[in-house]
Chains A and B, each alone.
Chain A
Amino acid sequence: MATTTQREEERQAQLELARLLVEQLQRGDDEAVEITIHRLSAPFERELFAELGKLTRDLHEALKGFREDSRLLEITRDEIPDAKERLNYVITMTEQATHRTLNAVDAGLPIAEQIHAMAAELAANWVRFRRREMSVDQFRQLANDLDAFFAMTDTETDRLRSLMSQIMMAQDFQDLTGQIISRVIRLVQDVEENLVGLVRLSSARMEAVKSAAPRPSEVDEAVAAIESRGPTVPNTKDVQANVVTGQDDVDDLLSSLGF
């Protein structure tokens, strides 16, 4: 910032140059006029360059700062591929759950049909017996059929119960995939917030970026060590963490802790 005396001196110098310019114009000395005009504009150009230089530096600093503390880079490099793996895993899990369910239905339906058919046949014979339309041999056959039916329903309804149970357990995918999808939704929100930050920055108002509230991702990462993360997804950074691979692993760990 120029002091008052400096300003005054500059003004005097400019005034002298202006007088000189008038004189040179009146004299018609074009060459001298050009030089004087250049000298007159010099202070303004200096200021302009200084201002431009400052703007460039600020922009450079802001961009550097943004790159350093931005999660965008991390997100694009690690988390987007990670999220793709997670969503692929969701497809795999829902596919498996559907197959498990349909397999159980495929196995269960013939059982229901078989019981239904045998019961219908026995019922018809039972009616004949009640009407006394049955010979002793036929009755003996009916008694054998009934024995077979009771034995069959005993084992087959038990199989049906187990198939129903399999169908029920297959529905656990909704909880597990739900947790995975929720995590991807959080990432999408994170990306959105970072992009908004980038847009703010390109409008060249660094104050906006600096005063922005801490991104939720920072809060997330800060407590990541103790925060719950949902199911472990293969081919993601989940696997790099120290995770157990199944119930046996859990049991071993707990028994090592005296459980």
Chain B
Amino acid sequence: MDKGMKILIVDDFSTMRRIIKNLLRELGFNNTTEADDGSTALPMLKNGSFDFVVTDWNMPNMEGIALLRAIRADPALQKLPVLMVTAEAKREQIIEAAEAGVNGYIVKPFTAETLKEKIDKIFERLES
């Protein structure tokens, strides 16, 4: 796993974006960019060479699940790993995200350890 990889953090709450950014920095990832919902994230993803997306689900304009689907539908982005960090806790939503091709799912509130564990797992699987 390349610690210099380019990560996009998508959440409509700036406080949560800061928390995730800080946690990622503690884990050694310093190359992070932020977007406040799916509709701002998608053009950024299309224009920039991002390596990883951490996204919320419940956001205005374009929700995380729609962003995930848009990523999977775009030939240039479809292999991009996506980690969902959300308060959405319905089983059918988790299944929906899994079927849409999410790489990991974390429910809020979460801990720094959980974030580290899920990121490690995602890249272990991608590299194997």
Which residues of B70-110 have CB atoms within 8 Å of chain A's CB atoms?
Answer: 86-96, 98, 105-110
The complex places the Cα of A156 from the Cα of B26 at a distance, in Å, of 18
Quick one: closest B residue to A253, CB to CB? Answer: B94
Give chain A's interface residues, CB within 8 Å of chain B: 165, 168-169, 171-172, 174-176, 178-179, 225-226, 228-232, 241-247, 250, 253-254, 257, 259
The complex places the Cα of A62 from the Cα of B19 at a distance, in Å, of 53
Given A244-B94, A254-B105, also A174-B111 (CB < 8 A): no
Q: How many residue pairs at the A-B interface have CB separations less than 8 Å?
A: 85
- CB < 8 Å neighbour of B90 from A169, A174, A243, A259: A243
Pair A230/B87 contact, Cβ less than 8 Å: yes
With A232-B87, A253-B91 known, 4 other A-B pairs at CB within 8 A are A165-B112, A168-B23, A247-B107, A253-B94
Pair B108/A176 contact, Cβ less than 8 Å: yes
CB distance from A30 to the nearest CB of B (A): 81
Query: Does B5 interact with chain A (Cβ within 8 Å)?
Result: no
The complex places the Cα of A174 from the Cα of B26 at a distance, in Å, of 21
The complex places the Cα of A254 from the Cα of B91 at a distance, in Å, of 10
Query: Does B57 interact with chain A (Cβ within 8 Å)?
Result: yes
CB distance from A68 to the nearest CB of B (A): 29
- CB < 8 Å neighbour of B63 from A228, A241, A242, A253: A228
Tally of B interface residues using CB under 8 Å: 34
Query: Does B16 interact with chain A (Cβ within 8 Å)?
Result: yes
Quick one: closest A residue to B113, CB to CB? Answer: A247
Given A171-B15, A175-B16, A243-B90, also A250-B107 (CB < 8 A): yes
- CB < 8 Å neighbour of B58 from A226, A228, A232: A228
Query: Does B123 interact with chain A (Cβ within 8 Å)?
Result: no
Pairs A–B under 8 Å by Cβ, sample size 21 = A165-B112, A171-B18, A172-B108, A172-B110, A175-B87, A176-B109, A179-B58, A225-B92, A226-B96, A228-B63, A229-B58, A229-B90, A232-B89, A246-B107, A247-B107, A250-B105, A253-B91, A253-B94, A253-B95, A257-B95, A257-B98
Pair B112/A242 contact, Cβ less than 8 Å: no
The complex places the Cα of A242 from the Cα of B19 at a distance, in Å, of 28
Given A174-B13, A254-B105, also A243-B95 (CB < 8 A): no
CB distance from B67 to the nearest CB of A (A): 12
- CB < 8 Å neighbour of A172 from B88, B94, B109: B109
Q: Which residues of B contact A179 (CB under 8 A)?
A: 58, 87
CB distance from A138 to the nearest CB of B (A): 42
Q: Which residues of B contact A175 (CB under 8 A)?
A: 11, 13, 15-16, 87, 108
Q: Which residues of B contact A243 (CB under 8 A)?
A: 89-91
